[in-house]
Amino acid sequence: MNYDNILNMDDLERAARRRVPRAVFDAVAGGSDDEITVRENRRAYRDIWLRQKAFADVRTVDASTTVLGERVSMPLLLAPTGMARMADSSAESGVARAAVKAGTIFAVSSAASQPLEQIAAAAQGPLWYQLYYADRDSASAMIDRVEAAGYSALCLTIDSAVLSKRERDARNRFTIPLRMTPKLLMTGVSKPRWTKDFLLGKTGRVSQGGSGMFAARAAYRNLATVLTHSKLVTWDDLAWLRERWPGKLVIKGVMRGDECPRMIDMGVDGIVVSNHGGRQLDGSPSTISVVPEVVQAVDGRAEVYVDGGIRRGTDVLKALALGAQACFIGRPYIWGLAADGETGVSFVMSFFQSEIERGMALLGTPTIADIDRSAIGMEARPAVGVLA
Ligand SMILES: Cc1cc2nc3c(=O)[nH]c(=O)nc-3n(C[C@H](O)[C@H](O)[C@H](O)COP(=O)(O)O)c2cc1C
């Protein structure tokens, strides 16, 4: 693929759109209901302004930091997404390899299209595992596998008790497993590379059993089971999980500060401010507007992360200035995967690494530790809560 004209994540999204059928593109790009929250996640970064420092020595810039004690090359991690096989046959293994090569961490989804052991073997580096809690028996069995495969942290998603209404998917008659309908075949004619990949699959790459199209379908079936199962999780379940899982525990899907102290008292190590990329509760505010409230409530007792709408290095710097330890991206790396497989994901990683480093130099903050609240402009028109 020619990257000369891919200058930002919107360019990459367009490249991905050309490669995959409409139904697949929409399933990734879309959100719930009116997609107000999808748009707001991104828009809210425009209400936050950066104040550069004078005379800073930025001859060398170091974007590396730590996440739960682990060194990472930049404060940007890969969020769990469950659709990788739809974008490209290298699927989660390709994403994991690219993440480790870039020196950062991928949180593998419960709805991944490859077994977690296979992804860990491909990664050869630190990974987190995202859990959709269904019941104690299945969670227990899953935790044994996650531990045996060497995942360094467990990330419990709490914003998905029920399936949301995804209207693009309904209009496209999108199904999991994806059915080769005449309509999909029609769009496939203009997307030959994706269609060939989908029909043939890759033996040994999608190893939910079988090969070729059957393997792909089996992988989608696995995904369907996870997605359609209830994912209701309670405070009691959290207490049980904290006892059951010996490693670091992160909660993903927190959108208010008042409930954070209780989570931390129960032994939670990290909190991801997330509205699922606008795919669950539409009408929830942008995640970045909630970060200050959560940071204040957490009061340094756990790490705070944020995801949703991050498309630029300067978005990451804004989140860090407001107190986040690191950010996650979802859709951008799927666009990389859809456009050019594992190489596309690596492109996204180097895009963010250089955007973050350039942003740090221009802001006058040569290390991550130099980025603090003073980097945010007081004259900025605040999103809800930002300057509260
Ligand atoms: C296609 C897709 C699948 C996703 N699957 C999951 C999932 O299985 N588990 C989960 O916790 N979050 C899932 N998410 C949400 C992401 O982890 C993340 O919160 C979101 O994508 C961040 O927003 P962004 O896409 O604007 O970067 C998914 C998001 C997308 C786009």
Q: Is the pLDDT of residue 380 over 80?
A: no
- Closest listed residue to residue 253, CA positions, set 93, 48, 37, 56: 37
Q: Is the pLDDT of residue 381 over 70?
A: no
**In this structure, what token pair is assigned to residue 164?**
């949301």
pLDDT average, residue stretch 255-264: 98
C-alpha distances out from residue 192 to 101, 198, 201, 228, Å: 29, 10, 13, 30
End-to-end CA distance of the chain, in Å? Answer: 46
Name all residues whose Cβ lies below 6 A of ligand 1.
28, 41, 79-83, 109-111, 130, 157, 252, 274, 276-277, 279, 307-310, 329-331, 334
**In this structure, what token pair is assigned to residue 330?**
């979802």
3-state helix, strand, coil in the chain (%, to 5): 45, 10, 40
Q: Is the pLDDT of residue 267 over 60?
A: yes
> Is-contact 327 75, C-beta < 8 A?
yes
Q: For residue 82, how far is its CA from the centre of ligand 1 (angstroms)?
A: 8
pLDDT average, residue stretch 368-387: 75
Residue 266: the pLDDT is: 98
Band of pLDDT at residue 187, cut at 50, 70 and 90: confident
Band of pLDDT at residue 357, cut at 50, 70 and 90: very high
CB within 8 Å of 222: residues ≥ 6 apart: 113, 208
Each residue's pLDDT tens digit, 291-331: 999 999 999 999 999 999 999 999 999 999 999 999 999 99
- By alpha-carbon position, which residue is closest to atom 5 of ligand 1? 81
- By alpha-carbon position, which residue is closest to atom 3 of ligand 1? 81
- By alpha-carbon position, which residue is closest to atom 20 of ligand 1? 277
Instruction: Please indicate whether residue 276 is annotated as part of the active site.
Output: yes
pLDDT average, residue stretch 76-84: 94
Band of pLDDT at residue 192, cut at 50, 70 and 90: confident
CA angle 178, 182, 185 (to 5 degrees): 70
- Whole-number average pLDDT of the chain: 91
Pairwise CA distance, residues 260 & 269, whole Å: 11
Scanning the structure block, which residue is given the tokens 């500060």?
257
Residue 186: the pLDDT is: 77
> Is-contact 53 364, C-beta < 8 A?
yes
Q: For residue 21, count other CB atoms closer than 10 A to its CB.
A: 24
Pairwise CA distance, residues 203 & 87, whole Å: 17
Q: Is the pLDDT of residue 206 over 70?
A: no
Residue 209: the pLDDT is: 42
Q: Is the pLDDT of residue 225 over 90?
A: no
Residue 200: the pLDDT is: 73
pTM over 0.85: yes
> Is-contact 304 322, C-beta < 8 A?
no
Q: Where are the beta strands (DSSP E) in the chain?
A: 65-67, 70-72, 76-78, 106-108, 127-131, 153-157, 248-254, 270-273, 303-307, 326-329
Q: For the chain, how many residues are written?
A: 388
Dihedral sign of CA atoms 162, 254, 142, 243 in order: negative
Give the nearest ligand 1 atom to 157 CA: 11
Catalytic residue among 276, 279, 311, 331: 276
Q: For residue 246, how far is its CA from the centre of ligand 1 (angstroms)?
A: 25
Q: For residue 370, count other CB atoms closer than 10 A to its CB.
A: 18
Q: Is the pLDDT of residue 388 over 60?
A: no
- By alpha-carbon position, which residue is closest to atom 29 of ligand 1? 81
To test ligand 1's pocket by mutation, which of 279, 310, 352 has the most ligand atoms within 8 angstroms of CB? 279
Q: Is the pLDDT of residue 76 over 90?
A: yes
Residue 210: the pLDDT is: 41
Residue 161: the pLDDT is: 93
